[in-house]
Amino acid sequence: MSSENFEKPKDGDSQSSRPEVHILTENFFTDDAVDPVYQAKARILNDALQEVGMGKYQWGLFVVTGFGWLADNLWPIVTGLILAPVVNEFRFEGPFLKLGQNVGLLVGAVFWGVGSDIWGRKISFNITLLIVAIFALAAGGSPNSITLISLAAVWSIGVGGNLPVDSAIFLEFVPASHQYLLTILSIWWAFGQLIGSLVAWPLIGNYSCEITKPPNCSRSENQGWRYFLFTMGGLMLLLWGIRFFLFKLYESPKYLMGRGRDEQAVEVVHKVAAYNGTTSNLTLEHLKVAGSLGGGPALDTSAAGAVQRQLTKFNSNHFRSLFATKKLAYSTSLLVVLWAFIGLAFPLYNAFVTYYLATRGTDFGDGSLYITYRNQVILSVIGVPGALLAGYLVELPILGRRGTLAISTALTGVFILVSTTARTSDSLLGWNCAYSFTSNVMYGVLYAITPELFPTKDRGTGNAMVAAANRVFGIMAPIIALYADLTSSVPIFIAGAIFIAAGFIALLLPFESRGRASI
């Protein structure tokens, strides 16, 4: 159903005086799930953005929101990469570092995700990377494990806010014909792992005590992980500077419309069009016509009304809207379960893969830090084409989002399980390369389909909800690791089985968002 069903030309307006729909903008949410007036306005904005097209602004957004994907994968990888040398120096239980990180990720996902629906996308977008940079740089000077764990928790609050906010921003500006780029954005996620591994290889590999060294590893001979944190913190500061000083982010027009600020929403669309060197036919009258179809009361513009609207932003309406109908509640619940399962399986395996590769490498006779981090770089390189393939597969009629997500998630679990059969270093690396490839396809689709299945006015809250489930179960991973033998294959069996189960859950999602405009 296109916006043409809602917006009727009047007073002699010609059909060409308003935005035209260029692709299918049928909405899979029923009218009782999302307010019909909101739907009508969202479709008009979709048509306007399609009219503006994919231009300089959206491509710039592809880059600066990509920084959020990069940070989201980089920093969990960072704690995995520094795990062996910091345990060697501080002599503490390594999973506590991951536990502190995952607590911070949980707080960040909920705070910034819900906050983006309350105060808008811009504030969260402009702050998160700066938080990461400041506390990561401070962590490089940590004198003990407690300080390091505490600072990792705080920098993770910044990290946790990136994807819930950045996915909403990109999806709400990109024309419907290019929504597949939300999947390809995961190439930045692969770059995050690659950059971390490339920098860690020479720094940690050459300036650290060997894992087999007796417990007298001093700070002076174990500076590699500190150099690494300084470098990664500096990178975050650079990326924040590019975001804040070089790219002007406009507030999301759909967010503004959802807050009753139609005039500002129209203004943003025209600013984006001007930035792209084109024009838009969208006017405030178009949104007013759609708004009049609801027959509801006019927006109270008094001071008291403004205060009341601010107070109502803090109620549970955003959460209730995500469960408004049985089908929408079913979809939301499955997404929460899917993110929870992956949130447990991924850190249980990937966050400790460096330690696992090192200890298994020792068994195979090549457990040096240099070989360990070299292998980590190889795994990271393999992940890049996986992200690109995901962008292609999700547009195929037979597979779509659901099919690609289900197959790649199940295969990720299969390759994890098969890796336990490795009897040589090369075969272990080979199976892990296959895992790295399919897991990057999986995450590319997961990060795309999730915001597409939430309406804009509740998207930040929906993203925060699934991210919170992901992080809560992520907290369980290091707790399990505290009581498990990481040198055995037991955590690997658990992670692989959970991924396979998550693949079957993905098949049960009731909506397929391929070829449909997000509202």
What local confidence, expressed as pLDDT, does residue 167 receive? 81
**Residue range 64-84: average pLDDT?**
90
Does residue 394 belong to any structural domain of this protein? yes
Which residue type occupies 34? V
List the one residue out of 451, 454, 469, 395 whose CA is nearest residue 68. 451
Q: Using one digit for the tens of pLDDT, what is the confidence trace for 286-340?
A: 888 877 655 444 444 334 443 344 445 445 666 777 887 788 888 889 999 999 9
Buried b (16+ CB within 10 A) or exposed e, 427-441: ebbbbbbbbbbbbbb
Kindly state the percentage of the chain with pLDDT values over 70: 80
**Residue range 47-54: average pLDDT?**
91
Tokens standing for 12? 């002699």
Res. 451: pLDDT tops 50: yes
Tokens standing for 313? 């932003």
Average pLDDT along the chain: 80
* 484 CB burial (10 A radius; 0-12, 13-18, 19+): middle
Q: Using one digit for the tens of pLDDT, what is the confidence trace for 362-387?
A: 455 555 667 777 887 888 888 888 87
* 373 CB burial (10 A radius; 0-12, 13-18, 19+): buried
Q: Using one digit for the tens of pLDDT, what is the confidence trace for 421-448?
A: 777 778 878 888 998 899 989 988 888 7
**Residue range 198-206: average pLDDT?**
89
Does residue 122 belong to any structural domain of this protein? yes
- Which position has the higher pLDDT, 3 or 40? 40
Running DSSP on this structure, what letter comes out for residue 15? Answer: G
Which residue type occupies 54? M
What local confidence, expressed as pLDDT, does residue 211 receive? 63
Contact 68, 363 (CB under 8 A): no
The answer to whether the pTM exceeds 0.85 is: no
Q: How many helices (H) and strands (E) does the chain have?
A: 21, 0
Instruction: Please tell me the total number of residues recorded for the chain in this structure.
Output: 519
Does residue 262 belong to any structural domain of this protein? no
| CA triple 156-162-164, angle to 5 deg | 115
Res. 78: pLDDT tops 60: yes
**Does residue 519 sit in helix, strand or coil?**
coil
C-alpha Rg value of the chain to the nearest Å: 24
- Which position has the higher pLDDT, 150 or 426? 150
Does residue 83 belong to any structural domain of this protein? yes
**What is d(CA 141, CA 147) in angstroms, rounded to the nearest whole number?**
9
Contact 161, 111 (CB under 8 A): yes
**What is d(CA 160, CA 485) in angstroms, rounded to the nearest whole number?**
28
Does residue 402 belong to any structural domain of this protein? yes
Question: Domain range spanning residue 68?
Answer: 56-250+320-507
**What is d(CA 505, CA 338) in angstroms, rounded to the nearest whole number?**
7
Q: Give the Å distances, CA to CA, from 136 to 74, 148, 317.
A: 12, 9, 36
What local confidence, expressed as pLDDT, does residue 311 receive? 44
Res. 246: pLDDT tops 90: yes
Q: Where are the alpha helices (DSSP H) in 119-223?
A: 121-139, 145-160, 162-173, 181-184, 186-206
In DSSP notation, 381-432 reads: HHHHHHHHHHHHHTTSTTTHHHHHHHHHHHHHHHHHHHHTT--SHHHHHHHH
Res. 262: pLDDT tops 50: yes
Q: What is the CATH number of the domain that holds 89?
A: 1.20.1250.20
**What is d(CA 173, CA 53) in angstroms, rounded to the nearest whole number?**
10
What local confidence, expressed as pLDDT, does residue 106 receive? 86
Which residues lie below 8 Å from residue 501, measured CB to CB, with a gap of 6+? 341, 413
Residue 353 pLDDT level (bands cut at 50, 70, 90) = low
- Which position has the higher pLDDT, 366 or 256? 256
What local confidence, expressed as pLDDT, does residue 360 receive? 57
Does residue 436 belong to any structural domain of this protein? yes
Does residue 3 belong to any structural domain of this protein? no
**What is d(CA 393, CA 385) in angstroms, rounded to the nearest whole number?**
12
Q: Which of 6-20, 67-81, 107-121 has the lowest mean pLDDT?
A: 6-20
**Residue range 98-111: average pLDDT?**
88
**What is d(CA 192, CA 384) in angstroms, rounded to the nearest whole number?**
10
Q: Please state the domain count of the chain.
A: 1
Which residue type occupies 467? A
- Range list of β-strands (E), 43-179: none
Does residue 263 belong to any structural domain of this protein? no
